[in-house]
Structure 1
Amino acid sequence: MNKFETLVFAGLIASIAPVAAVQAQDVYPNKPITIIVPYGPGGTTDVVGRALGESLGRQLKQPVVIENKPGAAGSMGVIEMMNTKPDGYRLTMAPVGIFRQPYLQKTRYDPIRDLTYIASFLTYDFMVTVAADSPFKTINDMVSFAKKNPGGIEYGTPGRFTGNQVVLAKLGKDDGIKFVHVPYKGDSEAIASLLGGHTQVAVVTNSVLPFMQSGKVRVLATAADVRPEAFSHVPTMKEAGFNVEVPSPLGLAGPKGMPQDIVDKLDKAVKTAMSDPAFKKVLENYGVRTFYMDNQTYTKFAETTFKAEKDIIQSLGLND
């Protein structure tokens, strides 16, 4: 190779190298991904989130780090997305409560404008629960007593404005019943209050499963659309004759403006996790159902739910 050929070859290499470097950088993901769990460590959402992260990590060939950010009614992750680069490396779980909060108090975020919805992966179910020694054997027993004794039933939930509260608020409005709501900081406190005899009823999520299995509590009904497998012997509210159904899907979201190819890759990984034996086992242990919605379906669900929440809040008087 003469001097001229050497210079030409060197120039070609120099021109190709930057392109190769850019292409390498564009391959997603090429570094760890962080998923924010907007609740404290150790709870069902945290445990499930870590299981999902492990499944996604195996598929995407990068570590998935779970970061707990509790507070602000489960919206800390959404708030964080407002100042996050839309490159797919920092994501958050999006609980259904984020669609309700803007109607209850001033929020920094708009759940439609400020997020990219990737996919949902599970749904929580709300259980109307009593202690094992309660005289209420069925949901109809409870309703019958409540009608005869206005304000005679205090029920605990994980907090004000939660889907848990919506369950009996809607039942009360539909059937002209006055229930007394007692908010706690989480399912565990609501269940402890129930077992301690401080409240007659608790509306909690699937976390009540071990208490039911041990015979400490009785689940009277669920506010699900179908009977969850772990609670297959328990009727839904609609089966019992009450028009109460409160869905609570949990999904993965990122900041607005995420590239569609990255969204699609993450969406595909979430869908694959639905059949991952390790992930399914964790959900089964907690009595939680998988519930997959792809990017487009989940985005439409977010838009529809956000609009519907305004009517729910106003009709049930939750912000009075």
Structure 2
Amino acid sequence: MIKKISTLISGSLIGLGLMFGSTAVASYPDKPIRMIVTFVPGGGADVLARYMAKEMADILGQPVVVENRTGAGGLIGVEAGLAAAPDGYTVTLISSSYTVNPSLYKLKFDPVRDITPIVKMSAGPMLAVTSNKSGIKTVAELIAAAKKNPGSINFASSGQGSVIHLANELFNQRADIKMTHIPYKGGGNALVDLIANQVDLYFAATASALPHVRSGKINAVAVTTPNRIQALPNVPTIAESGFPNYEATLWYGLIGPKGMPVEVVDKLNAVVNKILQTPSAREKIQADGAEPAGGTAAEFRESISNEIQIWGKVVKDIGITPQ
């Protein structure tokens, strides 16, 4: 009899737990959501994050608060996000560099199994830009200058081992040229020095480079994706400039801690996809030289996994090590 009562109580408690859990998911969100951004304020990622945060808040009925947590190739922000409760109230905006880090750092987490992918937000090229002092305005001119005096062309990056660094090294490998790498602590500083003619070349985030290209402060040489972009239709791709197999994409997306409720992931995924389908979001993202991405959480997981393998091979082939 006592055993039967114990079983009934135990079953009732489990039922109550499930009921309250379902209620919590159904009412999600009922408080502000924190969006950790692994980049400095003012950059392309931060601008996208703040735009999407506002749009998400309008639909969800709760504030989405952006928190910048930078450092260690984005790992500081990622680790902070993954350490949060998996309840959907902390999400993290990551970029392509997330898929490079496993080849360069000893991670404290599995980059595929220990996360909850939510949705890819945008994807687009990096923009190969040169200083006015360099006089280089085409891929052919860049290669000719690099081959004439190996190592004389300086190329900037947003950091040793960043996806921008690897994209440039991949180009060097395909073009069979040698250039000198100048790593910076962030893309903003690299772009400032390019404009000041302190370096010759930079594979920049398109959104941050576009205003300076349009003002004539720097030259747009090529984009790193297979197709040209709407924002600069006259600028060729590296692929069509003689390297048909070259491609490097800069993307941004949202992840959460491992174990987020499927219903919460589906809700966030649906909200972001809805925003990305609006004319205003498409116009804004395309104006920054990218395209709305979207898709399912499963597709985002597969994309992350595939890119980890691709960049891992590049790192191994080129022999890059972090500072």
**Given the two structures, how large is their TM-score scaled by the length of structure 2?**
0.87
Instruction: Give the match for residue 77 of structure 1.
Output: 77
Q: Is the contact between residue 164 and residue 204 of structure 1 (CA under 8 Å) also seen in structure 2? A: yes
User: Which deviates more, 77-86 or 180-189?
Assistant: 77-86
1:163-182 to structure 2, matched below 5 A, reads 163-182=163-182
Amino acid across the alignment from 1:39: F
Instruction: Give the match for residue 216 of structure 2.
Output: 215
Residues 167-211 of structure 1 show CA distances to partners (whole Å, capped at 9, x for unaligned) of: 221122223211111011222221222222221212211110000
Instruction: Give the match for residue 232 of structure 1.
Output: 233
Counterparts in 2 of 1:152 and 1:107: CA distance versus 1, 3 Å: same
Task: Report the CA distance between 1:136 and its aligned residue.
Answer: 1.7
Amino acid across the alignment from 2:295: M
User: Which deviates more, 96-105 or 206-215?
Assistant: 96-105
Q: 1:239 aligns to what SS in structure 2? A: helix
Task: Report the CA distance between 1:102 and its aligned residue.
Answer: 2.3
1:175-214 to structure 2, matched below 5 A, reads 175-206=175-206, 207-214=208-215
Counterparts in 2 of 1:19 and 1:188: CA distance versus 1, 3 Å: closer
Q: Is the contact between residue 48 and residue 282 of structure 1 (CA under 8 Å) also seen in structure 2? A: no
Instruction: Give the match for residue 248 of structure 1.
Output: 250
Counterparts in 2 of 1:19 and 1:295: CA distance versus 1, 3 Å: closer
Q: Distance in 2 between matches of 1:158 and 1:18?
A: 48
Q: Is the contact between residue 157 and residue 182 of structure 1 (CA under 8 Å) also seen in structure 2? A: yes
Instruction: Give the match for residue 12 of structure 1.
Output: none
Instruction: Give the match for residue 149 of structure 1.
Output: 149
**Given the two structures, how large is their TM-score scaled by the length of structure 1?**
0.88
Q: Distance in 2 between matches of 1:135 and 1:161?
A: 27
Amino acid across the alignment from 2:257: P
Instruction: Give the match for residue 94 of structure 1.
Output: 94
Report runs of 4+ in structure 1 exceeding 4 Å deviation.
17-24
Instruction: Give the match for residue 5 of structure 1.
Output: none
Residues 64-115 of structure 1 show CA distances to partners (whole Å, capped at 9, x for unaligned) of: 1111111121122321233221111111012121222122122222211210
Query: Where does structure 1 lack aligned partners over 5 or more consecutive residues?
Result: 1-16
Q: Percent identity?
A: 30
Instruction: Give the match for residue 52 of structure 1.
Output: 52
Q: Distance in 2 between matches of 1:283 and 1:149?
A: 39
Task: Report the CA distance between 1:293 and its aligned residue.
Answer: 3.0
Amino acid across the alignment from 2:285: L
Instruction: Give the match for residue 278 of structure 2.
Output: 276
Q: Is the contact between residue 94 and residue 253 of structure 1 (CA under 8 Å) also seen in structure 2? A: yes
Instruction: Give the match for residue 302 of structure 1.
Output: 304
Q: CA RMSD in A?
A: 2.1
Amino acid across the alignment from 1:43: G
Query: Where does structure 2 lack aligned partners over 5 or more consecutive residues?
Result: 1-15
Q: Is the contact between residue 205 and residue 250 of structure 2 (CA under 8 Å) also seen in structure 1? A: no
Q: Is the contact between residue 168 and residue 179 of structure 1 (CA under 8 Å) also seen in structure 2? A: no
Q: 2:239 aligns to what SS in structure 1? A: coil
Q: Distance in 2 between matches of 1:126 and 1:180?
A: 19
Amino acid across the alignment from 2:197: G
Task: Report the CA distance between 1:32 and its aligned residue.
Answer: 1.4
Instruction: Give the match for residue 24 of structure 2.
Output: 25
Task: Report the CA distance between 1:19 and its aligned residue.
Answer: 9.7
